[in-house]
Each structure stands twice: as C-alpha cells, then as structure tokens.
Structure 1
Amino acid sequence: MYLQYHELSARMTTKPVVFEQTYYAQDSGTLEQLRELSSRRKAWEEPRNGSNMAFAIAREIAGGETSPVAQEIGKVEKYLPLLENLVTRVIPEIDNPLVIKWTEELRLRWTSPLSGGFTKGKLFRVNDLVYEHVMTMWLYAGLLRERAFEMMDKGDLVEASNILRKAAGVFQHLEEQILPPLQPRLPPERPPEVTTSMAKIWRILCLAEAQAVTARKAAEKQTSGGLLAKLHYGVVELLSQAAGLLREHLGDWNETSDKFRRWLGLNATLHETQCYRILAEDYRKQEKIGMAVALVRVAQAKLLQTKPPGTALSSSEDVWKAAFKQEVDAVAVALKKYLHENEFVFQQKIPDSKYDLPHLEGKTIVTAITFQPSGLDRHFVFVETNEKRNPRSPKV
C-alpha cells in the first residue's frame, strides 16, 4: 500500500515564453532554432495552462498515444534537448549585460506545487535561463511519476518501478549537476524546487515509490514474509531519510505544502504497520502466536499515534483516508484473530516489552536510472542591440 501524491506535476503551471522575441538572432539558423524552441514549449505549455486542443488532434500528433500523460512526456522530451543546448551555450555569457537583459525580458514564471502558506499558487519569477531548465526537469520527473502510476493501475509493476527509478535519476541529475551552480544566483524569494536539498529529497522519495512497487510485486509472487517485511521496511527507511532532510533543510525554503508533509508521514506509518502485520503472520505460521499478537499490537499503537486524514480537500485525500481506514481495520481483524487462537489453542505468553520483539530491518534493492542529457550541440549567434551598456555581441 503506497499513497500517491499527484500534485508534483498536476499543479505545475507556467506563463508563455517566446525566445525569438527577446534573444535577438543574427542569422536565420539561430532564428529558426529559437522559433523551434518556442514551438516545442508551446506544445505542452498551452494544454497545461488550460488551452487544450481537441483530444483527437492531440492523439494524432502524439502518434496514436492515448495516454494524456504519455503525450505530455513526449512533448517535454522534445523540448528538453533544445533547452539544454541553449543553456549550455548561454552559461559562458551569463554575466554579459545583453544576456542578462534578454533573459529578464523572457519573464520566466512558474508555480510551485511544493510551496505552502501564502506562497501556494504563486508564480515565482527567476531571471535565469537555468531556472527554466530546472523547472522543466521537475515537470518531466513529475510526469514520469504519473506515468508510473498509470502502469501500476494496468498491473505492469516492473515497468512502473523502472519509470520511478528513471524519475529518481532526473532528480539526481538536478541535485548533482544542474542546481549547485545556480544556488549563489538565486533570489531570496524562490520556490523549493530550485534547491539542491529538495531535489535530493525527491530522488529518495522516487526510490521509495519504486521500492514500494517492488514490494507489491514480491507479494504477488508470494515471497516469504521475512523478505517481504524487509522490502516494506526499506520503504520506511527511505521515507524517514527524506523526512529527516525536510526537517534539516527548513531554512532552504519559505514554507512547504501541508499536503506534501501529510503524505510523507502517512506513507511511512502505513508501510511500517504493514511490516509488523507481515511479520506477525509469519510468526503465526510458525505457531509462535504470542509473538504475533505482540507485533500486531505494536502496529495498532502506531496507527493510534498517527493523526488520520481529516476532511478530504481533494479526491486523492479521499483515497488516503480510505487506505488508512483499511489498514486500521486489517490490524484490528488480525489482532482479534490471533488473540482468539492464542486463548483457545496455543495459550502462549505475549511479550510485553519492545526488547523482546524482533528488530525490523530494511532491504533496499532499487537504484536510480542515470539521466543522460541529449548532448545536442548547435551554435547560436545573437545580434548587438542599440543599448550602450555593453559593446559585446554574444556569440555562443
């Protein structure tokens, strides 16, 4: 059981950008590249901002792909190589006043799904082309997660896990390659997505999701209870690591989404209680019913200590509430069953100290799939404006 968080891509919007109107091309080749860049962005930007084309047309353009998420992934994948190439060429001229001016005129603005409080839904503007690269990569990773969820619904758990590992690789690339040089140039008011710490957190979370899918696949194969519990506890360890980083780096952002934090905490609790239930059933099969009772009691105590999902604000939180109730009921049923068997059949002593219980151990078996930049290498030549601020014309 793994609760899904859909906000990462669903609530990510941006304002239109037309590159050829602000970056002045000196030759037709550069102009054509800038126009292509704008066109590729517009292909996913307009539907995301609510200006959807007819589904049949979108499907035809996407080569017959019926999944809207897969369609959007394809569009972003066509935009990213062109953007990466422009960023690579512009970075050496980052301090050129003309480049600074042109980038400001792009008015790069994105909403932040991870922001909370007064910044929720706010359009963050950062006058840096790398910002566009970063936010597009976040969008891409978020869409990959949504595609993985679709694969899970279809029962293709192997493909779902691989896609989530691919998303983890996107966040790893952000964390290690793209974001570190950007940090000194960031304004005080910035979205959490532009910090290396948040990219690291989401790399770990995508791995936790991939591990959860792997555990589900293992359950379908009727893997032994001991190994299955280790896989689930591997999820718990990854979630705990992410939660620890979130607390540690509070100073890196203004405020994060309440829903994001609730999702993180609930997931950790549900997977931990599943570990105890799985182990308890394993002990029951070994006719160690006293230990089984003790383990299920621990699971029940952890659920009682967890604040359940309240009044649902969205359909996804309705699902969370149902999942939490399902786990509460499953634990209650197991406890009643084991107590009855112990009373009338086994009559074993029930351990009453946590020191008498088995120590939970996690086993993480998933790794990120490395993101490979396209390596597109095209030159740009820009004209000199009439501004007297700098005589240099950037040729990149």
Structure 2
Amino acid sequence: MLRYYIPIPKTKKIVLWNILKFKEKKTNSQLKNISLNRKQPEDSINRSFHGIEAIVKEDLVRIEAYLLLLQNLIDNLNKPCNHDISIRFIKNLRIRWSSALNLNCKSSNGLSLASIFQRKKSPTFFQVNNMMFELHMILFIYALKLREKAMVLISTADMVGSTKAYREAAGVFDYLCKIRHPDYSPWVPIEKLPELTSSVCSSLSLLCLAEGQAVTASKAKEKGTSASLLAKLHYGVSQFVDEANASLLSKTSIQVKELSSCFLDYVSTLGALHELKSGKHLAESLESEGQVGEAIGVLRRALARAKKTTQFRDDSWKSIFNKEREEVTTMMKKYERLNKSMMLQRIPLDAELPTLQGDMIVKLIPYLATKRGKELNFEFP
C-alpha cells in the first residue's frame, strides 16, 4: 500500500500557569498540569519516529490527556462571568502555530527533498489570540496521529485495527469542519495556514476514508472475495479520492496552490492506483464469464489511464504503481493470446465498455468532544 506521513504543524511553547491563577490552590495545580500536558504534545511534534507502534500510542495518550484539560479550560473561560478574565488571559498567552501543509515537499521518512537543492526555509508562525485556535490545531494533530497509528497497524497485519484508526481520524477531521470558531483572517492569511480551513479538513477526512477502504479491499482479497466485488471496493477508494479533490477545489484555487505538492501528488497517485486495480479485477470478472473481448478492452483502457500518472515523489510509490501496471500488462497479454487462439471475440470500443462501479463502504467514526470537568474559579495574580 502507498504510504505518506503528512507533516505535523509546529508550535511555540506556552506556559499557562505563569499567566493565569486560580482562587483555589488545588485548581492552580490543575492549571500547572495543563501546562505540563501541553508540553507533551510539543515534544511529540518535535520528534519523528514514524512506524514505531509504542511511540505512536504514547503520543495519542498524551494528546488525549491534554485535550481533556484544554476543553475543560475553554468551557470555563467561555462562561459569561469569566468574559473579562478570558480576554486578558488569552491576550497574554501568545498561541503560535505554523502550517506543515504548505511547506516544502517531505518524503515518507520526514526528510525534505527540496532541501537537497536549496536551503530549507524556517516555518512562519502565526499568533491568534483565541483558545479555539489552540483546540483546532491540537485536534488536527490528534487526527494525524490516529492516521499514523493506522499506517503502523498495517505493518503489523492488524487490518481491522488499521481501518478503525483511519475511520477515527476521518471523524476528527470531520469534526474540525463543523467546529465553530471566530474569523482568523485578521491574524492569519488563510492560504498560509490551510489546516484551519473546512475544505482541507473535509478533504483529509475523505482521504482517511479512502485509505481505510484500501485496507478493507486488501483484507477482502485475502478472504477470497469475488473479483467483481474487489473491483467495486477499489473503485470506491478512487471515488473517495475524487471527493477529497473536489473538497479542495470547492473554495479557492489559491488555497490549493499553497498546499504541499507532495501531498497533492500522493492523493492523485492513490486514486490512480486503485482505479487501475479496479480495472484489473473487473477484467478478471469479465474473463471468468467468458467475455474475453471486453476484458481486454477494460485492461487496455486501464493502462491508458495509468500512463497519465507520472508524478512519484517517493520511490516506494513508483515501485508499487509500476508493479501493478506490470501485472495488468501481463494479464492483458494473456487474455489477448487466449482470444487470438480460441475465443476470437471482438474488442469493444471504449464507449462500449462497461464502466467502473464503486462501493464506498467505509464510514467515519464520529468524534465525541471531551466531557466538561469541574468548575474553575479564576483570578489574576
């Protein structure tokens, strides 16, 4: 399967308990815990150990713990009685994040390919005086870590767990599309921080569903599922990818131009790969029913479309795609020999060939926001 680790946004350190105090010593201790818990996601962001299951799980536990405390803090700050304190508190907090989706292309091992030829630019940090900015970015990272968990579980052959993690990641990205937050445009040029946009979050949700369905299709093949059903499952992956692309194009073309070319190439390669797989299985199904002429036509069409996919930012993508293309070519030559020697069937024109049909069976798991904790009593020192 194709792999691409989406780069994680960077942040600057913030220390909550140096800015805000509480009337109760116990509550002050809680706020200090929030700062300590915030440091743990900071550490997770700055380290890159892709593919190590224990580290991914540890990162998720750290982020979940911080989310619980963060949501509780936001709930209390949003109370009418704490309005003035909230404004003063957030003004001094200096929450700063940078984008990772509009940086130079990164390979699957996290190394910048562009930096080989040019000096890598430092990320630009944007400051927004709103706690919802912090919540949005932490949830974004949480979704990326769930997706990373899904990729790790594939390597351990836990396909059921992998699909579930992809579905959970899709649910978090979908939640981010719907979360209500203020207009950030006075502080952040939105195309410079695409992680904040609903179109990008929606696209990532659909991408996770596509990847989850790809795992489902692999599992179905292991179980000996019919070729006709496999064709529909693989084309369903391509349909999810098409919807993800449509989501990116639904807002502004400027936004898409600012996105990492590596990310965009991965999305297009994923869709093309599974369209090719779908064509292969459809041809296999047609041949089993004695329709060798149509099977040959479907394979020729699939190979013609595959030639349009030329961007491979990762050697492993190229290897996987070329292997699939070679299998389709071998199958086509086999069917052509069979048709020439025995079947003698006419090969239909493209317009006469059966179209690819897809089943989009993977559904997201909705993200449930953390429950509200105890009431906090604020005061400034």
Is the aligned partner of 1:170 residue 2:172? yes
After superposing the two structures, state which structure 1 stretch, 268-277 or 202-211, moved more. 202-211
Q: 1:14 to 1:267 in 2, by over 3 A?
A: same
SS class of match (2:97): strand
1:153-192 matches, cutoff 5 A: 153-176=155-178, 178=179, 180-183=180-183, 187-190=187-190, 191-192=193-194
2:300 maps to which residue? 297
Shift of 1:29: 2.9
After superposing the two structures, state which structure 1 stretch, 145-154 or 343-352, moved more. 343-352
SS class of match (2:372): coil
1:61 maps to which residue? none
Is the aligned partner of 1:34 residue 2:28? no
After superposing the two structures, state which structure 1 stretch, 108-117 or 17-26, moved more. 108-117
Output one character per residue of 1:278-332: Cα deviation in whole Å (capped at 9) or x when no partner.
11111122221111110110111011122241xx5xxxx1211211221222222
1:106-145 matches, cutoff 5 A: 106-116=93-103, 121-145=123-147
Q: 1:93 to 1:18 in 2, by over 3 A?
A: farther
Q: 1:75 to 1:159 in 2, by over 3 A?
A: same
State the alpha-carbon separation in 2 of the partners of residues 239 and 205 from structure 1: 6
Output one character per residue of 1:239-297: Cα deviation in whole Å (capped at 9) or x when no partner.
10110111122268471111111111111111111111111111122221111110110
1:45-60 matches, cutoff 5 A: 45-50=42-47
SS class of match (2:347): coil
Contact 1:183 1:195 in 2 (8 A): no
Q: 1:12 to 1:19 in 2, by over 3 A?
A: same
Query: Structure 2: any 5+ residue segments left out of the alignment?
Result: 105-119
1:192-231 matches, cutoff 5 A: 192-231=194-233
1:366 maps to which residue? 362
Shift of 1:119: 8.7
Is the aligned partner of 1:246 residue 2:248? yes
1:335 maps to which residue? 332
Q: 1:226 to 1:239 in 2, by over 3 A?
A: same
Q: 1:183 to 1:223 in 2, by over 3 A?
A: farther
Letter in structure 1 aligned against 2:145: L
Shift of 1:50: 4.7
Output one character per residue of 1:224-253: Cα deviation in whole Å (capped at 9) or x when no partner.
111111111111111101101111222684
Letter in structure 1 aligned against 2:279: Y
Is the aligned partner of 1:67 residue 2:54? yes
1:7 maps to which residue? 6
State the alpha-carbon separation in 1 of the partners of residues 53 and 344 from structure 2: 58
1:78 maps to which residue? 65
Shift of 1:13: 2.5
Aligned residues: 361
Output one character per residue of 1:48-67: Cα deviation in whole Å (capped at 9) or x when no partner.
33599xxxxxxxxxxxx961
Contact 2:101 2:259 in 1 (8 A): yes
Letter in structure 2 aligned against 1:44: P
Shift of 1:184: 6.1
Match of 1:271 among 271, 274, 281: 274
Q: 1:355 to 1:219 in 2, by over 3 A?
A: same
Letter in structure 1 aligned against 2:283: A
Contact 1:164 1:210 in 2 (8 A): yes
Contact 1:93 1:99 in 2 (8 A): no
TM-score of the aligned structures, taking structure 2 as reference length: 0.87
Is the aligned partner of 1:257 residue 2:260? yes
Contact 1:116 1:258 in 2 (8 A): no
Letter in structure 2 aligned against 1:360: L
1:388 maps to which residue? none
Is the aligned partner of 1:44 residue 2:41? yes
State the alpha-carbon separation in 2 of the partners of residues 324 and 276 from structure 1: 14
Output one character per residue of 1:84-121: Cα deviation in whole Å (capped at 9) or x when no partner.
11112223469946533422322212232212479983
Contact 1:233 1:362 in 2 (8 A): yes
Shift of 1:81: 0.6
Is the aligned partner of 1:89 residue 2:76? yes
Contact 2:235 2:358 in 1 (8 A): yes
After superposing the two structures, state which structure 1 stretch, 273-282 or 243-252, moved more. 243-252
Contact 2:265 2:311 in 1 (8 A): no
Q: 1:204 to 1:378 in 2, by over 3 A?
A: same
Contact 1:94 1:100 in 2 (8 A): no
State the alpha-carbon separation in 2 of the partners of residues 119 and 148 from structure 1: 30
State the alpha-carbon separation in 2 of the partners of residues 39 and 96 from structure 1: 25
Over the aligned positions, Cα root-mean-square deviation in angstroms equals 2.5
SS class of match (1:7): coil
Shift of 1:162: 0.9
Letter in structure 1 aligned against 2:181: P
Contact 1:41 1:79 in 2 (8 A): yes
Letter in structure 2 aligned against 1:24: K
Query: Structure 1: any 5+ residue segments left out of the alignment?
Result: 53-64, 386-396
1:102 maps to which residue? 89
Contact 1:195 1:252 in 2 (8 A): no
State the alpha-carbon separation in 2 of the partners of residues 36 and 141 from structure 1: 23
